[in-house]
């Protein structure tokens, strides 16, 4: 696997692991609400969403870790590349879905989710471009 793609995915996994607990357990705190761009009046409405997004982030991180392990220590290099690329596509398409949901008015207030899409899409996109979309 291309080293740039691998490093970018590892960085993305680290970011996702760091953000997941904030989404899952600390959404009631004002600093976390500001960081995640959640309106204080909508916190109760967003708790289920935030918990599920945090879980999604952890699952994506597990995919990267499993891919790195298969690639370097699991004796299945090709499988590791596939796992990492599938995880990168999952990360990217999940980000795009978040942007589409915002465009459809599912984010309250509307337009509040575009920054989250902007922050979450580039790393998996860079990894896929660096790898050549599929290896």
Beta carbons of 36 and 50 less than 8 angstroms apart? yes
The DSSP symbol for 133 reads: S
pLDDT of 74-92, one tens digit each?
Answer: 789 999 999 999 999 999 9
CA atoms within 13 A on the CB side of 68: 16
> What pLDDT sits at residue 134?
55
Is the predicted pLDDT of residue 66 greater than 80, yes or no? yes
The answer to whether the bond into 27 is cis (omega within 30° of 0) is: no
The Cα 89–Cα 130 span in angstroms is 13
Q: Hey, what are 93's tokens?
A: 């398409």
Phi-psi region of 29 (alpha: psi -120 to 50; beta: other; left: phi over 0): beta
The Cα 76–Cα 67 span in angstroms is 9
Range 7-26 average pLDDT: 96
Beta carbons of 30 and 105 less than 8 angstroms apart? no
User: Tokens 């996994």, residue?
Assistant: 13
Q: Hey, what are 48's tokens?
A: 């289920």
Look at 44 and 68; give whichever has higher pLDDT.
68
Q: How confident is the model at residue 135 (pLDDT cuts 50, 70, 90)?
A: low
């Amino acid at each position: 696997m291309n080293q740039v793609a691998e490093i970018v995915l590892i960085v993305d996994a680290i970011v996702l692991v760091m953000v997941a607990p904030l989404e899952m357990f600390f959404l009631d705190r004002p600093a976390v609400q500001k960081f995640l761009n959640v309106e204080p009046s909508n916190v109760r409405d967003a708790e289920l969403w935030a918990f599920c997004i945090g879980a999604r982030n952890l699952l994506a991180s597990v995919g990267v870790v499993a891919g790195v392990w298969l690639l370097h220590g699991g004796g299945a290099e090709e499988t590791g590349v596939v796992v990492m690329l599938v995880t990168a596509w999952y990360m990217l398409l999940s980000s795009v879905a978040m942007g589409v949901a915002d465009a459809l008015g599912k984010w309250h207030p509307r337009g509040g989710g575009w920054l989250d899409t902007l922050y979450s899409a580039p790393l998996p996109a860079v990894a896929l471009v660096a790898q050549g979309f599929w290896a």
